[in-house]
Amino acid sequence: MNLRQIEAFRSVMRLGSMTAAAEALYTSQPNVSRLIAQLELSTGLKLFERAGVRLIPTKEGSAFFQEVERAYVGLDSLRQSAKNIRNLGTGRLRIAAVPSTGLTLIPQVIKHFVETHPELTVSLHMNASPTVVQWVQSQFCDLGVVVQPSDAGPLETLLITQLRAVCVLPPGHRLAVQELITAQDLHGENFVSLCHGDGTREQMDKVFENAGVERKLVVEGQYSAINCEMVASGMGAALVSPNVAQDFLHKGITIHRFEPELLFPVYVVTPAASGQTPLARQFIQALREHYETEFPR
């Protein structure tokens, strides 16, 4: 498989015929046909059904085309990055984050950051901690905000803050009158938990285990934002990061201090110091200052 074969296939799929593809590629129709045949041979896929002079993409061909288009989106992104660097000079900052920060706090930091860097282009990508780490390792992103920095390999890991978990309750819950919720208060209560495999879930389970408390685990969610949504719908109580909880106050949930202490750490992973961009260092400082202002210890 080579780039010329992929270009021929993509042109046929986009333009609908080998003749049109040949014109777009400044080559002959037989050459396009040969390239397609070579691509089918190298991939082991039947990409088209031939119906006279017409070409009809097979299911395999359509699926392969989707993957090709994803690859070309990456190339288009490179072209746009080059244009930004050429035209703007200051380039682009690519940030990856877990949803607990990417959906709530980081957009606020970005807003203030671009006000002081008006020619900067910022992109924000979200996924679970392991994927965020992979994106930074591959240099797809300049920095990543995670809650679990394990397997960061050669990356530099910085602890930005540790947020004390709060208990969120559904509207009208019997415990809503209490300012402080303890582990014992949640004995026998319906509980919305993080999924297994999340490091905070393990710490959370240990807190209740040490207190001899049994909760009714009615549902699990991968992210705190999902769990807050389920709490708002009345499915049970949850322990979440305070920055996530605040975004759901308009849905009628109540937020309470929780004991014993359970911490949600926030880390930033970056390439080794020598590989950090000045913009990345400035953004990390802005992020740290935002946490210190909004969630003082």
Looking at the structure, tell me whether residues 141 and 274 fall in a common domain.
Answer: yes
The DSSP element (H or E) to which 49 belongs, if any, is strand 48-51
Token pair listed for 66: 């989707």
Q: Is the pTM of this model over 0.85?
A: no
Q: Is residue 83, in this structure, part of any structural domain at all?
A: no
Looking at the structure, tell me whether residues 138 and 218 fall in a common domain.
Answer: no
What radius of gyration, in Å, describes the C-alpha atoms of the chain? 26
Backbone angles phi, psi at 149, to 5 degrees: -90, 15
Least confident of 63-72, 167-176, 222-231: 63-72
The rounded mean pLDDT for the chain is 88
pLDDT at 165 over 90: yes
Q: Is residue 233, in this structure, part of any structural domain at all?
A: yes
State residue 87's pLDDT score. 47
List, in order, residues 6 or more apart from 21 with CB less than 8 Å away. 8, 11, 12, 15, 32
Number of folded domains that form the chain:
3
Looking at the structure, tell me whether residues 277 and 203 fall in a common domain.
Answer: no
Q: Is residue 159, in this structure, part of any structural domain at all?
A: no
* Domain limits for position 186: 166-261
pLDDT band at 78 (very low <50, low <70, confident <90, very high): low
108-134 pLDDT, tens digit per residue, is 999 999 998 887 889 999 988 888 998
CATH number at residue 97: 3.40.190.10
pLDDT at 197 over 80: no
Q: Is residue 82, in this structure, part of any structural domain at all?
A: no
d(CA 53, CA 249): 62
pLDDT at 268 over 70: yes
Looking at the structure, tell me whether residues 201 and 247 fall in a common domain.
Answer: yes
State residue 274's pLDDT score. 64
Looking at the structure, tell me whether residues 250 and 192 fall in a common domain.
Answer: yes
pLDDT band at 89 (very low <50, low <70, confident <90, very high): very low
Looking at the structure, tell me whether residues 145 and 278 fall in a common domain.
Answer: yes
pLDDT at 152 over 50: yes
In one-letter notation, the amino acid at residue 251 is K
d(CA 94, CA 280): 9
Looking at the structure, tell me whether residues 255 and 170 fall in a common domain.
Answer: yes
CATH number at residue 51: 1.10.10.10
pLDDT at 82 over 70: no
Token pair listed for 121: 């282009």
How distant, in Å, are the alpha carbons of 71, 129, 148, 149, 205 from that of 199?
33, 10, 7, 10, 10
Token pair listed for 90: 């200051």
Other Cβ atoms within 10 Å of 175 Cβ, number: 17
Cis amide leading into 260 (omega within 30): yes
Looking at the structure, tell me whether residues 183 and 145 fall in a common domain.
Answer: no
% pLDDT > 90, the chain: 53
Q: Is residue 80, in this structure, part of any structural domain at all?
A: no
Looking at the structure, tell me whether residues 56 and 99 fall in a common domain.
Answer: no
State residue 178's pLDDT score. 95
Token pair listed for 194: 């993080």
Q: Is residue 117, in this structure, part of any structural domain at all?
A: yes
Q: Is residue 180, in this structure, part of any structural domain at all?
A: yes
237-256 pLDDT, tens digit per residue, is 999 999 999 989 999 999 99
DSSP conformational letter for 196? T
Q: Is pLDDT larger for residue 84 or for residue 273?
A: 273
Q: Is residue 32, in this structure, part of any structural domain at all?
A: yes
DSSP conformational letter for 222? S
% pLDDT > 70, the chain: 93
Looking at the structure, tell me whether residues 237 and 192 fall in a common domain.
Answer: yes
Looking at the structure, tell me whether residues 47 and 180 fall in a common domain.
Answer: no
d(CA 3, CA 38): 12
